[in-house]
Amino acid sequence: MGRRKLVVGNWKMNGLKAQLGEVEDIGALAARHPAVEVGLCLPATLIAPAQGVKGAAFIGAQDCHMHGSGAHTGCLSAAMLAEAGAGWTIVGHSERRQDQGETDADVAAKALAAKAAGLKVILCVGESLDVRDAGHAESVVSAQLLASLPQGAAADWLAIAYEPIWAIGTGRIPTMEAVEAMHRALRAALATKIGAEADGMRILYGGSMNGDNAAELLAIGDVDGGLVGGASLTAAKFAPVIAAA
Ligand code: PEP
């Protein structure tokens, strides 16, 4: 299956307008690597300002509300993010599952809300270190994925990011064999729900991906790209990851 590599930066709660130069430089990098789909999921405050400088990179959000409007102080609907210029959004990042108590059902509802507003979606799943150490990572993450999967999941609007929680921001990554086994397991799990559509769905790896390990990770057959935190904050750090894809 020809799955175009997808490499997306997640800036989390980092970035002011002073960093738009990095967005511009990453947009220029994306233009030099047209075979790779490159994006930046920015803080919501930077989505509109980034429109003038994004170059060939798409701009995405990091979360959206599951409802279209209403009494939800401080929240942003998918339509608001789309209007600001987002083309994608992340849902179900482990930091939100932990910090905001988001459930699998919430994540599925957010993905559907994003789709309804015309956004494409990166849906995150991943295991804790306890689960990994207990030897249950593949079954637990597969179950999490199936419980978080929205109705009508399809490869043209949804990508999955496998992000072991213990690898995020820690500099630690699983063995290549463990990544390969997990991505194979997740694709098999997807196939039980969406059949052959699973062959086209991109499954990204995320968790301390950087210029030193990206080539090896991205060479794994079922790894279709990366969701990259710290190493996406500057063009200099992100460049080797994009080049490796
Ligand atoms: C992330 O939070 O999505 C992530 C992968 O972060 P980092 O690359 O910094 O581990």
Segment 88-118, tens digit of pLDDT: 999 999 999 999 999 999 999 999 999 999 9
| CATH number for position 147 | 3.20.20.70
Q: Which residue among 88, 218, 227, 241 has the greatest number of ligand 1 atoms within 8 angstroms of its CB, and so is best to mutate?
A: 227
Domain membership flag for residue 164? yes
Report pTM: 0.98
Burial class (CB in 10 A: 0-12, 13-18, 19+), 192: exposed
Segment holding 61, helix H or strand E: strand 58-61
Is residue 1's pLDDT more than 60?
Answer: no
Q: How confident is the model at residue 38 (pLDDT cuts 50, 70, 90)?
A: very high
Q: How confident is the model at residue 2 (pLDDT cuts 50, 70, 90)?
A: confident
DSSP annotation of 174 reads -
Domain membership flag for residue 54? no
CA distance 95 to 167: 12
Domain membership flag for residue 51? no
Q: Is 39 helix (H, G, I), strand (E, B) or coil?
A: strand
CA distance 227 to 15: 17
Structure tokens at 69: 């409007």
Domain membership flag for residue 59? no
- Give me the interface pTM, i.e. the ipTM: 0.98
Ligand 1 center to residue 6 CA distance, Å? 15
Domain membership flag for residue 116? yes
Q: Is 100 helix (H, G, I), strand (E, B) or coil?
A: coil
Q: Please list the active-site residues.
A: 93, 163
Q: Has 213 been labeled as part of a binding site?
A: no
Query: 225-228 and 58-61: which strand pairing?
Result: unpaired
* Structural domain for 229, as ranges: 8-14+79-233
Can you tell me which atom of ligand 1 is nearest the CA of 95? 2
Domain membership flag for residue 19? no
Domain membership flag for residue 146? yes
Ligand 1 center to residue 229 CA distance, Å? 4
pLDDT at 234: 98
Domain membership flag for residue 26? no
What residues line ligand 1, using a CB cutoff of 6 Å?
A: 10, 163, 168-169, 206-209, 227-231
Structure tokens at 110: 């957010």
Domain count, the chain: 1
